Structure 1
Amino acid sequence: MYKIKKPVCFRFLDFSTRELRRHYCEEELRLNRRLAPHVYRRVVALVRQGEEFRIVGASEVQSADEYAVEMEFLPDDLRLDTLLLSQRVREDFVTEVAGILANFHRRAASGPEIARYGAPDQLIATWEENFADTEAFRDELVSAHDDDRIREFVKAFLRDNEYIFRRRQSEGRVRDGHGDLHADHVYATHPPAIIDCIEFSARLRSCDLVSDVAFLAMDFEFYGRRDLHDRFLLAYNQIMQDHDFPRLLPFYKCYRAYVRGKVEGLKSRETDVPESERTSAAEVARRRFTLAYRYTWEPLRAIVAVAGLSGTGKSTLAALLAERTGFAWFRSDAIRKEIVGWDAKTPARSTYRAGIYTSDLTSRTYREMCSRAVTSFERGRGAIVDATFLRREQRDELRALAEKVNAPLLFVWCTCPEETVRQRIEARVQNPEEVSDADWNIYLHQRAEQEIPGSDEPDVLYLDTSQPPLQSAMQVEDSLLPRAVPVPLLSPLAPKLPPPLP
């Protein structure tokens, strides 16, 4: 196959002349042979002969009508994003890719000219460019709420960690890497092929090694494979032994997700792109920006208890909070059925406090749910518990557990008009995927017995969930943010990398 460069000129690249296109074809060949020598064959010249073109080696002719990179053909069904969508990614392949990247990074060129791209002022400038580029679709593809939070997170992180960025410059951890390491550029060939590094900009290609690897890690999460994200990073850092990893990963994953959101957002505005593709790009952009927002929560942890009567939208809110913060979600309805050995979606409707809803089993369910939440917090990940918590005693038991581990705790007491509750309950009774067994009669019993939190419970946010779920989630997040505490990190002292090979 042959890859030809379009005669375009943008702020970040210039392919406007034939000689520039030849130069960057040669750069593409040189740079990509570092990771995929079996894919990148040579630079060729296209010479017109009548109505056709003759293809020869670029060095074989004095001039040409165009230049191209000759490459091995790579089938789409071996591309990593395709494999992720079809659930066909092997764990050993992910480990192999991690090893290839780690060894590539250890050999990658470094030095003062490259290290300068990792300076705090360079990072600030890059972020400012991205923020300027996304202004056009702020409020449309990324909410002002989320975008403001991302900007605050970036500003604070760069300020608080300036010394780490400067230390990593001097340690040689800013290197001439790949720069565009997402799933579309990885192929499950033998050996794996990692292609399409940035050839047109040393500034965009040269970066902190964590930034390079964060791109692919972010993509694993985008495709819903947190397990592969974890395996990939563990395998990579077992080789690299970079102790700054936990601190820097959320920042750089946020950056990579934000950039991908920007790219898709710009595509959604291109008039020469078919409407269906523009619509798809806009939806992908929204998901990328949401992921970038979620990474601002990754360095933080707390416990959130989403409580209230059945039908008030607790699980809808809890699921959305889990998606937007990355906190672990523990749902009493599912844990209760797990305890008795049932599938979560197995119907178990019965009269009030009968069947699997006896007081004893409810107590066991709450103990298990709250224990899992506290364990998650201790291991560095925030937790969301999703249950009615109708009795003061149940809330106080969670408070006691949270206090033992110094976990910030926020109860969210969900309420909404009864007509809304009735409509929601009637709708979910018809849904075979629904986990909850509560019906209207259960709701009436709960309403009669509930112990509504009073003014002596200051850790409670009272929330009207008749508003759009996203608005409710943002309200909870704004209340939670000042309470959340940092995730403990490893020592910031990192071993020296060996010098790059000649």
Structure 2
Amino acid sequence: MTDPNPTDIDRLFDPPLQVAETHVSRIFLSGDRAWKLKKALTLPYLDFATLQQRRAACEREVELNRRTAPELYLGCRAVCRDASGQLSFVGQGEPVEWLIEMRRFPSDATFDHLAAAGKLGAALIEMLADTIAAFHAQAETVDAEATDTVTRTLAFNDAAFERRAPDCLSDAELAAFRAALQTEFERQRPLLATRKAAGRMRHGHGDLHLRNIALIEDRPTLFDCLEFDDGLAEIDTLYDLAFLLMDLLHHGCTDLANRALNRYLEASGDYDGLPLLPLYVALRAAIRCHIAAMTPAGRQDARGYLALAQRALRSEGARLVAVGGYSGTGKTTVARELAAALGGYPWGAVVLRSDVLRKQLQGRALTQRLPPESYTAEASRQTYAALLDGAERLLQAGSSVVLDAVFGRLDERAAVAAAAKSCSVAFGGLWLEAPREVLIRRVAGREGDASDATAAVVHWQLEHLQPPSEVEHAWSAVDAAGDRTATLARARAALPVG
């Protein structure tokens, strides 16, 4: 049984009226409101055939999206037809349709438009990553297994690829990709099995690409989450994030994908799940690939997504880079800027920062100042040991790594070089230098940062720590006294990353 959508529903709205369509919805844009209608259709993955099903779907969509965008989702409204045949929201008669009422925002406020216009910067992307991490931390934990998510997605993708347009993708290239994806799946089964116990299986967004994120009142806002099948949204939080990373890479924003990933990792602390990211990004790209491949017009996009999925499964030229120097030399700025172009996977290197790790080890907020006993020689030894352990595990998984720490002792520098050797990757160290007065001015001007360094810390470091000597050939001195642009240029020259 099917309850068709009213054919005259556009008469509800005052002109001028704009109408936007997706394959499952129709959105009416009128004044300061957007009204979303579910099309009366049945697909393999959803059923909106009856009026009651559409009402339930509208109510569920409002409920779920109010987790992240309560200011946008105003409610679910009944459309009634009176005895004269007129439609209204307040008239007599039984409901003949249900609509979602939303606050309207400019169409160019979505992140895909911002990316195309070159208006997505590092600060906005880091704000977005913080927003996603906070959402994931509050999202409901679910009784689901990451292994089942992948199994279901692989089966769905295989069936969808069989429906692709003729001559869009060859059987041979799809067979090779499927085999590579299955191999990665089998390799990651043990880690996938740990995600539920680690608390990383949550009711996430499920459809976290750039078109479903908008800049509302100068704040990244997640909207239009996946509502029609809880099983598709009850997923690993890293799989949720992977859609955003894949979309940024598809838009050519490698640097922003790297920033988003590293900021999310700092906020969530989910470094243990990182080896799953190649599989997750490839799955997300494969979904976009088979959607594009449904029509001959999507052939170019389909090939682009397939190439991205294939590249996500390959690590190329992974390396370990250490950025050292006294507090205030700008290590974190240099580490973050270098990371995107350091090889490994398409999203670049993972940045491990001692200031962040020290606080994560103690269960403290990143901007919470630690007591002096957190900076004893033994506490620092434990921090550096954890830093190198994390780096080795990531390097063994194929990721490039940038370590951001002072490295003011010979044994610390020797240990990081040994870690690179044990993982059979190239190593390079950068030692940033600046005059005492510059360092003190910089640390005094910090706000909202994970570093607890003060002028007194800078004085102590200059008196008790030592820069690399001339015989430590893997380390290069970089003048960091100038502005950011000049320092980055010198760092890149000392450590080519292109």
* Alignment TM-score, normalising by the size of structure 1: 0.56
Instruction: Report matched runs for 1:293-312 at 5 Å.
Output: 293-298=310-315, 300-301=316-317
- 1:103 match: secondary structure: helix
Q: 2:248 is matched with which residue?
A: 220
Q: 1:141 is matched with which residue?
A: 168
Q: Which amino acid aligns with 1:189?
A: I
Q: 2:327 is matched with which residue?
A: none
CA contact (8 A) 1:150 1:296 kept: no
Q: 1:14 is matched with which residue?
A: 47
CA gap of 1:147–1:139, structure 2 versus 1, over 3 A, is: farther
**Bigger helix fraction:** 1
Q: 2:75 is matched with which residue?
A: 42
Q: Deviations over 1:198-257 (max 9, x none)?
A: 110011111100000010011111010111001111111111101234311111010111
- Once the two structures are TM-superposed, the CA of residue 283 in structure 1 deviates from its matched residue by 2.1
Q: Deviations over 1:71-128 (max 9, x none)?
A: 011211111111111211132211111111101100111132xx24x2x244223202
Q: Which amino acid aligns with 2:238?
A: V
CA contact (8 A) 2:209 2:247 kept: yes
User: Which of 189, 199, 202 in structure 1 is aligned with 2:216?
Assistant: 189
CA gap of 1:405–1:145, structure 2 versus 1, over 3 A, is: farther
Instruction: Report matched runs for 1:320-469 at 5 Å.
Output: 326=346, 380=399, 406=424
- Once the two structures are TM-superposed, the CA of residue 288 in structure 1 deviates from its matched residue by 1.2
Instruction: Report matched runs for 1:107-146 at 5 Å.
Output: 107-112=138-143, 115-116=144-145, 118=146, 120-137=147-164, 140-146=167-173
CA gap of 1:63–1:327, structure 2 versus 1, over 3 A, is: closer
Q: RMSD of aligned C-alpha atoms? A: 3.3
Q: Deviations over 1:128-168 (max 9, x none)?
A: 22112112338833344542332122222222221211111
- 1:68 match: secondary structure: strand
CA contact (8 A) 1:290 1:324 kept: no
In 2, the alpha carbon distance for the partners of 1:235 and 1:325 equals 17
Q: 2:285 is matched with which residue?
A: 257
In 1, the alpha carbon distance for the partners of 2:252 and 2:156 equals 29
Q: 1:242 is matched with which residue?
A: 270
- 1:197 match: secondary structure: coil
In 1, the alpha carbon distance for the partners of 2:289 and 2:93 equals 43
User: Which of 178, 191, 194 in structure 2 is aligned with 1:151?
Assistant: 178
CA contact (8 A) 1:291 1:324 kept: no
Q: 2:301 is matched with which residue?
A: 284
User: How much identity, in percent, do the aligned residues show?
Assistant: 28
Q: 1:102 is matched with which residue?
A: 133
In 1, the alpha carbon distance for the partners of 2:397 and 2:102 equals 50
CA gap of 1:302–1:94, structure 2 versus 1, over 3 A, is: closer
2:89 maps to 1:55 = yes
The higher relative CO (CA closer than 8 Å, separation ≥ 6) is in: 1
Q: 1:337 is matched with which residue?
A: none
CA contact (8 A) 1:147 1:293 kept: no
- 2:44 match: secondary structure: coil
CA gap of 1:381–1:6, structure 2 versus 1, over 3 A, is: same
Q: Which amino acid aligns with 1:204?
A: L
Aligned residues: 305
CA gap of 1:210–1:324, structure 2 versus 1, over 3 A, is: closer
In 2, the alpha carbon distance for the partners of 1:238 and 1:133 equals 36
CA contact (8 A) 1:327 1:381 kept: no
- Once the two structures are TM-superposed, the CA of residue 192 in structure 1 deviates from its matched residue by 2.2
In 2, the alpha carbon distance for the partners of 1:324 and 1:245 equals 17
Q: 1:164 is matched with which residue?
A: 191
CA gap of 1:249–1:379, structure 2 versus 1, over 3 A, is: closer
CA gap of 1:8–1:237, structure 2 versus 1, over 3 A, is: same
In 2, the alpha carbon distance for the partners of 1:66 and 1:379 equals 52
Q: Deviations over 1:316-346 (max 9, x none)?
A: xxxxxx9998599xxxxxxxxxxxxxxxxxx
- 2:100 match: secondary structure: strand
CA gap of 1:138–1:124, structure 2 versus 1, over 3 A, is: farther
Q: 1:68 is matched with which residue?
A: 99
Q: Deviations over 1:377-400 (max 9, x none)?
A: 999569xxxxxxxxxxxxxxxxxx
In 2, the alpha carbon distance for the partners of 1:51 and 1:323 equals 64
- 2:36 match: secondary structure: strand
Q: Which amino acid aligns with 2:221?
A: A
- 1:136 match: secondary structure: coil
In 2, the alpha carbon distance for the partners of 1:134 and 1:28 equals 28
Q: 2:114 is matched with which residue?
A: 83
CA gap of 1:78–1:106, structure 2 versus 1, over 3 A, is: same
- Unaligned ranges ≥5, structure 1: 269-277, 304-321, 329-375, 383-402, 409-502
